Amino acid sequence: MNVLVVDAGGRGNAIAHAFSRSNKVKRVFVGPGNAGSEFFEKCEQVSSISSIRDIEGIIKFSKENADLVFVGPEEPLSLGLVDRLQEEGILAFGPEKKATILESSKCWANDFMNKIGVPIPDYRNFDDAGEAKEYISDYYKSGKGNLVVKADGLAAGKGVFVCDSVDEALFAVEEIMERKKFGDAGNRITVEERLYGIEVAFTAVCDGKTAKTFGHAKDFKRAFDPDDIEGLRNFNIGLTRKFISKKDAEKLFREGKLVNPNTGGMGAVSPHPAVNKEMEDKIMEMVVEPIIREFKEIEGKEFKGILYPVLMLVEDDEELISKVLEINVRE
């Protein structure tokens, strides 16, 4: 069989390499791909697909060349690529457009998980920056702890601000909602309590009715090592457009005021060293299975593809429980 992997990044090349190792796969196309897409045997970059948003280009190429299309990123999924492929009778792996709301709206996903009893952090959704700032200021005055501020929509993994102070949280609101750093994705935000524990990237493969564990990883998302003061200093100079001396940077570092931004991922280790079979089963029972079941029963939508919840394992009465930080709908 011939496979088309829709992706433009390193993830797509990794997926293509995995397909290429199967003796059932003759050729693997990566569209639009990148300079590394032809490093592996059987793999070929598709220059005729202009971008991951080139739906009609993907359809045209698939009709002529692919027996199976694997969609990597969230954006083409949310644009309805799988729906269009199915309309054309092309076998595709990934959720339909209506199911991508689990990732494309963090506010909706939090409300849904809260409704069905999946453990999540305490949260509030906002569509007004002033109300969000007031809530944040009151929260920090109460001494409850720190917050995480997230753009509601898709922001390529960069719309999450893990805050260490009220100033960082207020800055996040300004970046997302006022300066529109992520465009319409920041029309709403969700503000969550910041959890401390063991973060786990967990995946399950789903057919709309059932789900099977598909692996897990320890993901590293911060752009800089925690002790990279010089790197943090340079980044914060660019961020604030104000010069920061090395001495001032060291002081800000000690006070926890140097922003270390989240990224889409700086690397990962799999399997996660803290997740054993018992924890896998617990995550499936408390998180994955309820989401798949209730998404169908309450929302009338089937989820088919990779469900990828990011979890925090936190202690509760000397027992580790998993709370969902966010849901992704792709590998």
Please write the tens of the pLDDT for every residue from 196-241.
Answer: 999 999 999 999 999 999 999 998 888 999 899 999 999 999 988 9
**Distance of alpha carbon 276 from alpha carbon 278, whole angstroms:** 5
Torsion of CA 76, 77, 83, 86, to 10 degrees: 90
The model carries a pTM of 0.87
Euclidean distance between CA atoms 185 and 103, whole angstroms: 12
What angle, rounded to 10 degrees, do the helices at 106-116 and 289-297 form?
Answer: 100
Q: What is the pLDDT of residue 259?
A: 86
- Specify the fold of 122-193: Dna Ligase; domain 1 (3.30.1490)
What are the structure tokens assigned to 209, written together?
A: 């009715």
Q: What is the mean pLDDT of residues 240-260?
A: 91
**Residue 233, both tokens:** 């200093």
pLDDT at residue 109 in the model = 98
- Count the neighbouring beta carbons within 10 Å of the beta carbon of residue 264: 12
CA quadruple 12, 47, 36, 266: dihedral positive or negative?
A: negative
Domain ranges in the chain?
Answer: 2-94, 122-193, 197-221+265-328, 228-253
DSSP string, 161-214: EE-SSHHHHHHHHIIIIIS-TTGGGGSSEEEEEPP-SEEEEEEEEEESS-EEEE
pLDDT given for residue 182 in this prediction? 96
CA 247 distance to own-chain centroid: 36
Residue 255 has pLDDT above 90, yes or no: no
- The percent of residues in the chain predicted with pLDDT above 70, rounded, is 100
Asked whether the beta carbons of 37 and 45 are under 8 A apart, the reply is yes
- Sign of the alpha-carbon torsion through 101, 268, 192, 210: positive
Quote the pLDDT of residue 222: 86
pLDDT digits (tens, 9 = 90+) for 280-321: 999 999 999 999 999 999 999 999 999 999 999 999 888 899
Same fold, 2-94 and 122-193: no
Q: Which CATH number fits domain 2-94: 3.40.50.20, 3.40.50.720, 1.10.287.130, 3.40.50.11540?
A: 3.40.50.20
Mean pLDDT, residues 20-42 taken together: 96
| One-letter amino acid for residue 280 of the chain | E
Nearest to residue 291, comparing CAs of 211, 224, 181? 211
Average pLDDT over residues 255-276: 87
Position 198, amino acid: I
What's the CATH fold of domain 197-221+265-328? D-amino Acid Aminotransferase; Chain A, domain 1 (3.30.470)
Dihedral angle sign, alpha carbons of residues 269, 258, 134, 127: negative
The DSSP string of 5-17 is EEESSHHHHHHHH
User: Are 331 and 308 a contacting pair, CB within 8 Å?
Assistant: yes
Cβ-contact 30, 54 below 8 angstroms: no
Q: What is the pLDDT of residue 262?
A: 77
